[in-house]
Amino acid sequence: MSRLWGAITGRTTPKQANLDSLFLVPSASVTLQTAAGFTATGTGSVCFRAPDGAAYQQIQDEVVSMLREDADKPDVSVHHDDLGFTWLVVDRVDDDVEGLCTDLHAINSGLEEQGFGTGLLCSLVPFRDGSGRNVALVYLYKQGTFYAFAPTGPNVRDNLLEMQVRDALKDELPMEQDLQRWLALWGAPGL
């Protein structure tokens, strides 16, 4: 009945995030390397809109502290962009994609468990090839899907490369089919 009511009123229930999809990225990174020569940079990030207040700051500090206490001790930093979004950035010196995805999952889960899931926007795992081209796998939290973002300069992106990455990974990751959701993440940490 609630689906019928949603259809009548034009409201739909948003798709739930499946954070475990982040654990598919290590396998997809092997495909990216063999198909196109892209390797993970060892950096990843989680983007969210941080609410104001001391309670949120304490939770953010706890998540960062938890990651820093990890046996592998990833380097975690906080960045704020020009649009008011906060990025928690994990930099792994070992370029361990599996460990990086575990760290990103922990950040998302930690924020979600503390009631801040509505502010989570995306997670980003950047890759680079031998010629210096960049492409990132972007996980859209609210959609539960991935897309490729390949910046080539200030406000310029390589749409052909993005489509090639989508096609190469369509059997490995839940790829976003609606191109309008393939947002440009200009100035994202790690790109």
Listed as own residue / partner, the contacts of 114-117 with beta carbons closer than 8 Å and 24 or more positions apart are 114/59, 116/48, 116/51, 116/56, 116/59, 117/17, 117/141
pTM: predicted TM-score of the whole model, two decimal places: 0.85
User: Would you give per-residue pLDDT tens digits along the chain (191 residues)?
Assistant: 455 455 455 555 545 668 899 999 999 999 999 999 999 999 999 998 876 666 677 776 776 676 667 665 667 888 888 888 889 999 887 778 999 999 899 888 887 887 778 889 999 999 999 999 999 999 999 999 999 999 998 899 999 999 999 999 999 999 999 999 999 999 898 88
Give the per-residue pLDDT at 17: 67
Give the per-residue pLDDT at 185: 95
Give the per-residue pLDDT at 1: 46
Give the per-residue pLDDT at 107: 86
